[in-house]
Chains A and B, each alone.
Chain A
Amino acid sequence: MATNPMHQFEVYRIGPEIKLGAIDISFTNASLFMVISSLAILLIFNLGSKKNSLLPSKVQLLAELSYSFVSKMISDTAGSKAKPYFAFIFSLFMFVLFCNMFGMIPYAFTVTSHIIVTFILASFIFVGVTIIGFIKHGLGYLKLFVPSGVPALLLPLIVVIEIISYLSRPVSLSVRLFANMMAGHTMMKVFGGFVISLGIVGGWLPLSFSVALTGLEILVAFLQAYVFAILTCIYLNDALNLHH
């Protein structure tokens, strides 16, 4: 069982079975790591904002650098109108980043390697952005599907393509994160299995691969959180500043 690379993604119940009517909402290892990630974020940023010294401490610097990083990312991609959604995108970025990073600890569970988690996040973003678009522009938001400067003959085809691409946003957003996480962790597990099966003689090559993959996976963990957040910003930008 230990050599099965998919075993690490299994969700199991921790503690008693909790039922809400007919629905099972038991606390699982996935829930545990969601709680751990959230608490870690809250702890770090609480420490980083507790007292304001002119010369920031390391935690404070970390918190403030993350703040300005996300703030700059939002203002660069979605403009100043996106300021009210800063807290949401910041939470989203930090949550995904911490879930990814905690997943890099051996024997830890990667929350974002589950399509249901990423899909719920992505569809929440999709629904939210669509609602914001309709509130801001009314039915004029539908102009998003009609790009300007397209010949009338091609218009029906373009509109269909635009609608499909718009509807596929939550799918692409969720699958990108989920597949990256899952593929990386599976690869690391497979190479780890090779180390064991090839033993002391031949195990060094997969071990070195494993080390390199760990570095790569940490990069991917950050990059995917960044991509997730920046795509959210881009979708938000479409809803806030209708360009078409």
Chain B
Amino acid sequence: MIKKIFFQSIFLSFLFFMEAFAAESGGMPQLNPEFWISQIFWLTITFGILYVVLSKLILPKISANLEIRKSQIVENIEAAEKQREQSELNIAEYEKIVQNSKDEAKNYFKQSRGKLLKDINLKKDALDKELNLEIQKAESEIQELKDKAPERINKIAVETSADLLRQLIGAEVNSSSISAIVDDLSRKKMDKYYGN
């Protein structure tokens, strides 16, 4: 009874405000104390059970779930980070290898190019020498031929002159006198051709 009176006294100040809502019905069911104790009782029971079950069973589970998920995600992120670093290392290694092979290839190229050039030069020199020799030989032959040419010409000239004279005058002429004349003439003519 005391409880009821206490509760009702609290609402006295709100009665006026509530009258506005309750104008038609002439009373608010909320202010009927018939089921107040029942409502308090059932509120205590239901809310009590709700609180106990939530706080002892369900909320710790949710909290654990959240923690596990968080740590799992953090772990995954760490693993991913590690893998990323590893792959970066791999990429660096790969690039190094590619660079090395490029350098090597360049070296090979340079080496073989040098070798080839050297080879070509050697062969060229050898050829040059051979050519020079041949040229010298040819030149000397020519020189020889050149040197021998006047003598032969003289000889031929002497013989032809002797033949001519025999046919013209029918007499043998001394070959030495003919050759002396031919020599004399040829020396004069030769000077014109050979310049000496």
Contacts and interface: CB of A to CB of B under 8 A. Distances in A.
Contacts of A111: 43
Given A35-B46, A45-B62, A52 B68 contact: yes
Interface in A77-136: 86-88, 90-91, 94-95, 111, 113-117, 119-121
Interface in A1-35: 4-7, 9-11, 13, 20, 23-28, 30-31, 34-35
Contacts of B30: 9, 113-116, 178, 182
The 8 closest A-B pairs by CB, nearest first: A87-B55, A31-B42, A49-B61, A52-B65, A34-B46, A6-B25, A9-B29, A10-B29
Instruction: Choose among B31, B38, B41, B73 the residue with the greatest number of A CB atoms under 10 Å from its CB.
Output: B38
A119 B33 CA distance: 14
Contacts of A119: 7, 10
Interface string B6-45: 0100110010010001101101111110111111111110
Contacts of B37: 23-25
Contacts of B190: none
B24 A5 contact: yes
Interface stretch (A62-70, A157-165, A221-229): A62-70
B29 A95 contact: no
A88 B47 CA distance: 10
A46 B54 CA distance: 9
Contacts, number: 147
B38 A52 contact: no
B39 A30 contact: yes
Size category of the A interface is 35 or more
Nearest to A44: B58
Contacts of B14: 175
A7 B57 CA distance: 39
Nearest to B63: A67
A241 interface: no
A35 B44 CA distance: 11
A171 interface: yes
Given A4-B24, A90-B59, A91-B51, A54 B69 contact: yes
Contacts of A115: 11, 30-31
A186 interface: yes
Given A5-B25, A7-B25, A54-B72, 4 more contacts: A6-B29, A24-B35, A42-B54, A49-B58
Contacts of A86: 59
B91 interface: no
A37 B47 CA distance: 10
Contacts of B21: 5-6, 182-183, 186
Nearest to A31: B42
Contacts of B47: 34, 38, 91, 95, 121
Contacts of A56: 69
Contact of A30 (B22, B42, B59): B42
A192 interface: no
Contact of B39 (A31, A37, A49): A31
A28 B40 contact: no
Contacts of B53: 42
B66 interface: yes
A87 B56 CA distance: 9
A54 B73 CA distance: 8
B51 A25 contact: no
B156 interface: no
A48 interface: yes
B58 A46 contact: yes
Contacts of B61: 49
A25 B36 contact: no
A115 B63 CA distance: 34
A88 to B, nearest CB: 6
A174 B166 CA distance: 172
